[in-house]
Amino acid sequence: MMKNTNEHALREAHGEEKTLTAQDRIEGYLNAIKAAFAGETPLPDHPEGPVWRIELFLAAILSAIHGDSPVMECPEPVWRIEEFGRAIYDAIVGVSPAWPCPRPTSNIEEPLYAIYTSLADGEEPAIPSPSWDIERWLDDVYEAAKGWSPAVLRTVTGLSLHVADALSRPAESLTATLSPMQAGSGDPSPDNIRPISGRTGLSVYVSPTQDETDATAYTAEWTSQAGTVYGGTVDLISGVLTVDSILFQKNTADMDNNENYPGWKNVGLKALGFETKVFRNIVGNVGDALSTNMNGVNDIVFLSTEIYNKTQSEWKALAIDVQFVLPLPSPQTYNLTPQVIRLLRGENNLWSDADSLSLTYYADGRADTVESLNNVADASDDLLGDNER
């Protein structure tokens, strides 16, 4: 039980004697604040709806650390202990000018002042050894606050990713690009057929060292929802799979159009919204060009004789499977199971069997905040100079 004069002063300041339940409430807030400083999610249980005035300050500090939107407003201080709370709050949210933090005059104020200085990049003071519960709690909060910085969202993209400034929070999004895979090498042609394959799932690995032995694997699989995917994106965190391409595959032995426009009738693309178009620079196993004729009742795909220099009879004689990946007029979306992907504090390496990754994550933003505050200070100095002139 807390029975020192500092705790009594806290209770007396609010005009009534409080019970152990009130002590539990304070401890609940401080535990949540410590966890928020450490970047833990979800936060431990803490009181909802402040009762004491001091809880208004604790709740506002917690809201500011956790980055609530909007962040809870901090009251104007009335009591000395509240002056520390307001100064800590202002240091967290970057208020300029910040509420001036008092110099400590008691053991309970020492860790409060230390928390403030750690946030304001000041000199670390010496803290007396804690004697009472609340001093020990505040000491723990101080230790967590020393490693804290405001979180900023950052996005990195690449075949494999490396970030060195992550906070220990779940990532905001992790999107993988799904492009068709193609066997072989060189330019595809009827003489250099390069078979195309798609994906029915993928794995993403998160590791501090780029070593699979200490990596956490996150997988997504969509066979039952979307079948094989030949182009699109998947966000493993939201679970949204977007399919933006389909595979067109026919055997040339089945061509039934005409000699000058070798191709296939009634292919089913018209129902998907395809229009008459010449597709160039697309992924194909025998080339990169294909044409469609959707005029009137036509639903035809053909291979231009000007590009491929073959008549329909010559294609039919080859009897080969022709594959092309075509962009859908309207992408299709599927909802997979969402996942929580937690990054480690500091170094993280991510790689996958997809084509590229895009990660949006919570980063250590202290440098950004210092730069922002410096910019505010410079602007204030300029304004003051203008007024003086």
Burial of 95 (0-12, 13-18, 19+ CB in 10 A): middle
The H-or-E segment that residue 377 falls in is helix 366-388
SS3 228: coil
Residues 117 and 226 in one domain: no
Q: Residue 380: inside a domain, yes or no?
A: no
Please tell me what DSSP assigns to residue 186: S
Domain that holds residue 52: 5-146
Which amino acid is located at 353 in the chain?
D
Please tell me what DSSP assigns to residue 154: E
Q: Residue 203: inside a domain, yes or no?
A: yes
Q: Give the C-alpha distances (Å, rounded to integers) separating 360 from 59, 158, 160, 166, 200.
A: 28, 12, 14, 10, 24
Residues 192 and 328 in one domain: yes
Helices 109-119 & 133-146 angle (0-180, nearest 10): 10
SS3 196: strand
Which whole number is the average pLDDT over 92-111? 87
Residues 191 and 275 in one domain: yes
Sign, CA torsion 73/78/81/83? positive
Q: Residue 261: inside a domain, yes or no?
A: yes
Average pLDDT of the chain? 85
Q: Residue 382: inside a domain, yes or no?
A: no
The pLDDT score that the predictor gives to residue 14 is 43
* pLDDT at 382 exceeding the cut of 90: no
* pLDDT at 268 exceeding the cut of 90: yes
Residues 157 and 305 in one domain: yes
Q: Residue 27: inside a domain, yes or no?
A: yes
Collect contacts of 305-314 with beta carbons under 8 A, ≥24 apart. 305/260, 305/261, 305/262, 308/190, 310/190, 310/262, 311/259, 311/260, 311/262, 312/255, 312/257, 312/258, 312/259, 312/260, 312/261, 312/262, 312/263, 313/259, 314/262
Residues 107 and 245 in one domain: no
Q: Residue 378: inside a domain, yes or no?
A: no
Residue 324 φ/ψ, nearest 5 degrees: -140, 140
- At 157, list the tokens: 């993209």
Residues 54 and 186 in one domain: no
Angle at 380 between CA 378 and CA 386, to 5 degrees: 105
The pLDDT score that the predictor gives to residue 388 is 35
The pLDDT score that the predictor gives to residue 243 is 98
The pLDDT score that the predictor gives to residue 92 is 85
**Token pair 């709050």: residue:** 89
54 within 8 A of 84, measured Cβ to Cβ: no
Residues 287 and 318 in one domain: yes
The pLDDT score that the predictor gives to residue 368 is 52
- At 328, list the tokens: 């859908």
DSSP readout, 317-362? HH--EEEEEEEEEEEEEEE------BPPSEEEEEEESSSEEEEEEE
Neighbours of 28 (CB within 10 A): 17
Q: Grade residue 383 by pLDDT with cuts at 50, 70 and 90.
A: very low
Please tell me what DSSP assigns to residue 17: -
Domains: count for the chain: 2
Cα 321 to Cα 248: distance, rounded to the nearest angstrom: 10
Residues 340 and 251 in one domain: yes
Domain end marker among 146, 175, 208: 146
Q: Grade residue 378 by pLDDT with cuts at 50, 70 and 90.
A: very low
Residue 161 φ/ψ, nearest 5 degrees: -120, 145
Q: Residue 80: inside a domain, yes or no?
A: yes
Domain end marker among 146, 170, 192: 146
Per-residue pLDDT reduced to its tens digit, 28-64: 999 999 988 887 777 888 888 888 899 999 999 998 8
The pLDDT score that the predictor gives to residue 48 is 81
Please tell me what DSSP assigns to residue 363: E
DSSP readout, 95-150? -SSPPPPPPP-STTHHHHHHHHHHHTT-PPPP-PPP-SHHHHHHHHHHHHHHT---
- At 146, list the tokens: 């020393």
Residues 209 and 358 in one domain: yes
Residues 135 and 96 in one domain: yes
Residues 95 and 27 in one domain: yes
Please tell me what DSSP assigns to residue 38: T
**Token pair 């073959």: residue:** 310
Q: Residue 386: inside a domain, yes or no?
A: no
Cα 66 to Cα 60: distance, rounded to the nearest angstrom: 10
Residues 64 and 199 in one domain: no
Tallying the residues shown for the chain, one arrives at 389
DSSP readout, 2-13? --SHHHHHHHHH
Cα 341 to Cα 172: distance, rounded to the nearest angstrom: 9
Cα 273 to Cα 266: distance, rounded to the nearest angstrom: 14
Domain end marker among 146, 163, 183: 146
289 within 8 A of 246, measured Cβ to Cβ: no
Greater model confidence, 375 or 263: 263
